[in-house]
Structure 1
């Protein structure tokens, strides 16, 4: 589904990504772990074309390196940024409608689907999105992305700042997304959710991949956990 090879990215003169290699299979949940500032979010932005990148990014066998973000999105990759980026003056339903690639044309996801997963959104569908709580805004951002019917979704820190109950709901949504055949690259800080739902894990440090393997492999590698994740 997704193949990232020797990916480099820069912010000005700062070299952020140093030859990152990542792959995500069909319907697979893959987590990208690491401390803040190691380049995890930059990986997502480089894949989406939001920052200039060197190397190779292939999606379903097609080289998408250097494409504009709208081209990447229309090609089938969805992106949930860590800062949510809702439209605060539009209603919840209007925000969801903006996720559709074509007005009125639904794919695997429709209003009933997202409302079933997050009843709060249905109850508040006619109010301005800016009035939602932080957790509800996170739900809205994820569901808006799903309305575009992506084959792969990049999700950056979806549980950041959420109450435990909402974290559980997000975990359930991620599992449901995978069940519907959508691949996920998940940037996450919470080990518990990543270990629970992921088929494979990558750990980043200083702009490089320092570990790759299954949750079981990770559980047996205390050195990686202590050196690259624990504070």
Structure 2
């Protein structure tokens, strides 16, 4: 579904991604793991066109490297950034409506689906998004992206700074997204969440992939965890 080969990216003269190669298959949850600063977020931004990529990014066989972000979104990719980009002066309901790409096409996700999964959003549907808690804004950002009915959704650090109860809800939502046939590329700092919900995992170090395997294989590989993940 998504094939990334020899991907390079730069911030000024800093060579951040140094030949990243990986793939995501239909219906998979694939997690990118690694310590802060290794290039996980830059990988997603490069795929989404927010950082200029060098290399090959194939989505359903189409080369999308070099396309603009809105063109990539139209191809069927969704992106949830880690900085919770809500429209603060608009209500929760209005934020969700903004996520719909084509009002004439009925997608997999309805507003009621979002409210059923996150009752807090239903209770605050007509409240400005700017007054929501951090956890509620994270829920809203994810749900707004789903309203665009992506076939693959890339999510950057969805549980960062959230209370344990909300982390559990986010994990349940990710599993439900996959159950409905949407592939997920997840950047996640919490190893327990990634091991619980992922089909495959990649570990990044120094701008490239250093490991690929299943959750069970990573659990059994103490050397990789100590060298590239644990503090």
1:183 aligns with 2:183: yes
1:97-112 alignment, distance < 5 Å: 97-103=97-103, 105-112=105-112
Aligned to 1:74: 74
TM-score, normalised by the number of residues in structure 1:
0.99
1:215 aligns with 2:215: yes
Aligned to 1:154: 154
Aligned to 2:50: 50
Residues 122-164 of structure 1: CA deviation (Å, up to 9, x unaligned):
1100010001000000000000000000000000000000000
Tell me the distance in 2 between the aligned counterparts of 1:152 and 1:3: 12
Aligned to 1:39: 39
Q: Over aligned residue pairs, what C-alpha RMSD do you find?
A: 0.7
Aligned to 1:88: 88
TM-score, normalised by the number of residues in structure 2:
0.99
- Quote how far apart the aligned CAs of 1:105 are: 4.1
Tell me the distance in 1 between the aligned counterparts of 2:74 and 2:83: 21
Deviates more, 1:99-108 or 1:203-212: 99-108
Report SS of the residue matched to 2:177.
helix
For this pair of structures, how many residues does the alignment match?
231
Tell me the distance in 2 between the aligned counterparts of 1:145 and 1:21: 25
Tell me the distance in 1 between the aligned counterparts of 2:60 and 2:110: 24
Report SS of the residue matched to 2:153.
strand
Instruction: Tell me if structure 2 keeps the 8 A contact 1:81–1:155.
Output: yes
Aligned to 1:132: 132
Tell me the distance in 1 between the aligned counterparts of 2:94 and 2:183: 26
Aligned to 1:226: 226
Aligned to 2:118: 118
Residues 51-91 of structure 1: CA deviation (Å, up to 9, x unaligned):
11111000011111100000000110000000011000000
Tell me the distance in 2 between the aligned counterparts of 1:113 and 1:105: 16
Report SS of the residue matched to 2:9.
strand
Report SS of the residue matched to 1:227.
helix
Instruction: Tell me if structure 2 keeps the 8 A contact 1:100–1:106.
Output: no
Gaps of 5+ in 2: none
Gaps of 5+ in 1: none
